[in-house]
Amino acid sequence: MTPGRERGLAALLCAAGAGLALLAAGRPWATVEARHAITPFTRTLTGGDLGGAAGALGWAGLAGLAALFAARGRVRAAVGVLIALFGAGIAYASAAAVRRSNVLSAAGDKSTLLRLGADPALHVNPWWTVSVAGGVLLVAAGLVTAVRGARWPGMSSRYERAGARPPAAEAESGDPSAMWRSLDRGEDPTAQRNGRP
């Protein structure tokens, strides 16, 4: 597989992982029923209600996707390590969020009736596993980037100024389009000829 395709695969894994985590964060993860409370009720809690750490780390994963393209060499490998850590954090936070004690605590914060209920029933929905899957994809993207990312191509060299010819030298090179290119860059190709700095 070529380095460009490896980078594309890592970017796809990163986008899919962050997207799954963000999608799942707004969906119902658990339902608490207090049938024996003074007033029986049912409370549905989303991933955001149960802490929101997975969703926040999903946004961080998306930021890592942008850094994956902007960085080069060892910096890109470090970005890969961060993306993998974000993914591991999403997986852990998602699994911890649906523990009975955490769900009942979050539901109790939203309703005082739950505190008066006896033995509330808890139903966990599968959306938290979607968030875990997103975290696993981010871990895979981060590990691929950390191991192979230093060899991947960077952004196009047209966005870099290092090694560019001086405007006067380019204008005097005999290429009729050289002066137009220097004007496109916002440079004055006549500045050096007129003795201006």
Classify residue 182 by its DSSP letter.
Answer: H
Asked if 19 and 49 touch (Cβ cutoff 8 Å), the reply is no
Taking all residues of the chain, what is their mean pLDDT, rounded to a whole number?
Answer: 80
pTM: 0.71
Name the band, by pLDDT with cuts 50, 70 and 90, for residue 182: confident
Residue type, 192: Q
Cα angle value 117/38/115 (rounded, 5°): 30
Question: Which one has a higher pLDDT value, 21 or 197?
Answer: 21
CA distance linking residue 31 with residue 110, whole number of Å: 13
- Long-range contacts formed by 109-116: CB under 8 A, 24+ apart: 110/43, 110/45, 110/49, 111/41, 111/43, 113/34, 113/37, 113/38, 113/39, 113/41, 114/32, 114/34, 114/37, 114/41, 114/43, 116/37, 116/38
Share of the chain above pLDDT 90, in %: 37
What's the pLDDT at 33?
83
Looking at residue 197, its pLDDT comes to: 52
- 177's CB contacts (< 8 A; 6+ apart) are none
Of 114 and 26, the one with more pLDDT: 26
Assigned token pair, 94? 């998602």
pLDDT of residue 112: 62
Identity of the amino acid at 161: R
Amino acid at 65: L
Domains parsed from the chain with CATH numbers: 3-157 (1.20.140), 161-197 (no CATH)
